[in-house]
Amino acid sequence: MICAASPGGFGGLRGLVHLRAILGNIGITVLPDQIAIGSVHTALAEDGTLTDASMAKRVSDLGAGLARHLQKLLA
């Protein structure tokens, strides 16, 4: 699973494209879903949580998907 966050509007999305290609080339499994959080300096509360509930759910869902994938690998 790959994620990015940046102060820019694309949230590091363009970098994820290259990261996915590099990791794939060295044989690392990269799950198809990803997330990029733009304007991260305004997206986080003082305690580090995401202020946008829909974005927080997307991150949580992505983590849950990773957990399911890992459970299958361990089975």
Whole-number Å distance between alpha carbons of 62 and 42: 21
pTM over 0.85: no
Fold designation for 2-74: Rossmann fold (3.40.50)
pLDDT digits (tens, 9 = 90+) for 37-68: 999 999 999 999 999 999 999 999 999 999 99
Residues 6+ apart with CB under 8 A from 19: 2, 4
In whole angstroms, how large is the CA radius of gyration of the chain? 14
H or E element that contains 66: helix 53-74
**Mean pLDDT value across residues 1-17:** 93
Return mean pLDDT, the chain.
Answer: 94
Percent with pLDDT over 70 in the chain = 100
